[in-house]
Structure 1
Amino acid sequence: MNGHTDIWLHRNRRIWASAHEVGLEEDELRDVVESVTTKRSISGLTEFQQTIVIRTLDRLKKDTQKKRRRQKKRISGKSGDQATSRQIGEMRRLSEALGWGRPALRAWLKRCFSAEREEWLSANRASAAIQGLKTMVSRKGSAAAE
C-alpha cells in the first residue's frame, strides 16, 4: 500500500468526498489544499495535514449550507411562508360580507388561528382561514334565504 496506513487512505477518501459535497472541482480542491498546507498534491499530505484540510472543507460545507438557507429566504422575499396580499384581501372581503369590521376579523383569527393579524398567518393557515370564512358566508346566505 505504498507505506500509507488505513487511516491515511480513509482521510484521503474523506477529503475527496467532502470536496464533492461542497461542490469543488479537482482544481479548486487542490487550490484549497495548497492554501492550507502549501502542497498541491493530496497524496503527498501527512495525516496531520489531511486533518487540517478536512476541517477546512467541513467549515466550507457549513458556510455553503448557511448561504443556501439565506438565499432561499431572499428568493421568496419573505422570512418564511407568509400569507399573500391576495389572500389577505380575500379574508378582508369575506369578513365584510359577514358584516364584520377589521377588529372582528382579527378577534376571530386570534381565537381560531392564534394570530392577531391576518398578515401574520402562513400561506397554508391563511388558506384555511379563507375556507372558514367562505363557509360562514355560505351559512349566512342560506340562513337569510329561509
Structure 2
Amino acid sequence: MCHKSVFEYVNCQGFINMIEVISPKLVLKSRTHFTRYEVPKLYEEYERRLMMELRQVENIAISFDGWSDSSNKHECLGVLVHFVKDSKLNFRLIGVIDISHQSHTGIFLFKKIKHNLGHFGIEEKVKVIVRDGARNVV
C-alpha cells in the first residue's frame, strides 16, 4: 500500500495497475509534471479569479498568523482577507509567506504583508487588521 502525498500516487504500483485495468491506453503523467506544470496553472487561475473578486469589494479586513514546524526550520506567515459579498461573510487566503530566514520584527512582517496586499491591489481597501497579541505585531 502506498501512503504518500496526493501527487505521489501516480508513481505507486497499485495505482498504475488500476489505471492499466481501467484504461490501458491512458498515459500517466509523473508527479513532477503535476507539481511543476498543473499546480502552478491552477494557482494562476485561482489568483486571477481572486483578483477579480477583490476588485468588486469596498472594505476588507485582514488577519495573519505565523506557523512553524516542530523543528522551526520552516516558518510561514499566512495572510487572509475577510469581506462581505452578497450579504455573506467571505474569507480567502492571499498569501503564505516564507519567513524562515528572517527576524520576525514588526517592520519585517509589515513589509511582507504590505507587499502581499499590493500584489492584489487592495492596500487602500483594508479597514481592519486582526492580529494576535504577540509583541512583534502590536
TM-score after normalising by structure 1: 0.24
More helix by share: 1
TM-score, normalised on structure 2? 0.25
- Which of the two has greater strand per residue? 2
- Name the larger-Rg structure: 1
